[in-house]
Amino acid sequence: MAKSKVFGKAKHFFFMMLPSSWRVVFIKWLVGVRFKCPQLSFPWNYSAFKKVLVILPEEPVEAFHQIKTYLGLVSLIKNARFFIFCTKNVATLFHHIHPEATMVEYETSERYLFSDEFHALGKYFLSEEIDLCLLLERLPDNALLYLIGKTAAPFRAGYVGSAQYPFLNIQVNPAPSKEYLSDRNFMIARIFGASENSRLRWSVAKETLNEISHVMHEFSMPVGVPTIGIDAGFFFEAFGESWTVMLIRKLKTIEACAYYLYCEGEPDGSLRHFLGSFSIPVFASMTPSRSAALISKSRCTLSGKTVFFELANVLGNPVIGLFENKECALYCRPTSSTRGIGYDGRPDEETAQRIVSTLQKLLDQKAD
């Protein structure tokens, strides 16, 4: 480890020993005095913005629900250059959405206040003379607060409760009347004048579809029967082995279907052993484009609070999502092809049976 990195880690360690109120005061001093963030001035002329920095949530599902907000701003501020600041796994999503944007990726391990990487990134954004810095992370840490201040952007906007002045000079309440998270989040774009006409369309390249078809052929998956995708990686990690086994066995009682298991990342340890215990093809660690192609080749997919679910929803492909009751309306907007199954505490056998019944209805609906 480089000497500067060791020194930075040490400074961060001692900094975190300070009371939280002292830490905020210190960063405010850095932002307000050292980097001299300008105060908000009127009138606002958004059409004059030339450079916009969007800081996305670290969690991919939360970032996915900011796509509508992002596209609204892109359609509004047409001549601006957009910078997207995010983790590497989120970058793969947004590169597909807006390949013209400048993608600035960071490692989560380097996200701390005295990080050399974040210090360099702050200098980079300062040199770019950002006009609008948009913080879409609801719980920013000290490193992100410092970075926002270091941009010295005249307009620094975020959600109420995420940060205060001088880090932000515009704070927006998510739309309280909206149930669905993407609709709630959009309020921050609406205050700048964006309309909700921007609809996400996720296209799948023919070459990628052909690639997935070839892989399915290599797995000897039958042609001409409904293909069902089960996000076994999510179910295993969220609800354990025994419940996931029960769900898969119940699903396989629906005859004349071909099944595959899906895993968002690279499975290891007990998960790898679990996935290998079934005589079912496994698709793992795929790019969003390949996952979208796989979904397009499926009659229906089953998942939960994952990017896999969100992709199926955007594609308009039949999908069943399993969510806690308190999150169901937030992450799942029911449509003719999207179904949400709610549970309290932990899903049980009755929950698994509801998933099977819902799948059967979707299959019957498609057949009609």
pLDDT tens by residue, 16-37: 565 666 666 666 666 654 555 5
Which of 133, 160, 190 is the last residue in one of the domains?
Answer: 190
**Same-domain status, 183 and 220:** no
**Cis bond upstream, residue 288 (ω within 30):** no
Domain-located, residue 71? yes
Note whether 183 and 226 are same-domain residues: no
- Determine the pLDDT at residue 29: 63
Check whether residue 242 and residue 177 sit in a common domain: no
Statement to judge: residues 124 and 221 lie in one domain? no
Catalogue the E-assigned strands of the chain: 51-55, 81-87, 102-106, 132-135, 155-159, 170-172, 227-230, 258-263, 282-284, 300-303, 319-324, 338-343
Angle made by CA atoms 315, 321, 322, in degrees to the nearest 5 = 165
pLDDT of amino acid 322: 97
Report the pLDDT value the prediction gives residue 198, as an integer from 0 to 100: 56
Statement to judge: residues 185 and 212 lie in one domain: no
Helix (H) or strand (E) holding 327: helix 325-331
Residue 26 lies in a domain: no
pLDDT tens for 177-208 read: 889 999 999 999 998 888 876 566 778 889 99
Total domains present in the chain: 2
Beta strand 102-106 with 81-87: parallel, antiparallel or unpaired?
parallel
Identify whether residues 215 and 354 lie together within a single domain: yes
CA pair distance 352, 76, nearest whole angstrom: 44
164 plus 225 within the same structural domain: no
Q: Is the Cβ–Cβ distance between 288 and 96 less than 8 Å?
A: yes
The parent domain of residue 247 ranges over 206-367
Indicate whether 211 and 360 sit together in one domain.
yes
The pLDDT score that the predictor gives to residue 309 is 96
- In order along the chain (368 residues), what is the average pLDDT of each group of 10 residues? 52 58 65 56 74 96 94 91 94 89 91 81 91 94 87 91 85 87 92 76 88 96 94 96 96 93 92 93 94 96 96 93 94 92 94 96 77
Q: Verify that 146 and 185 share a domain, yes or no.
A: yes
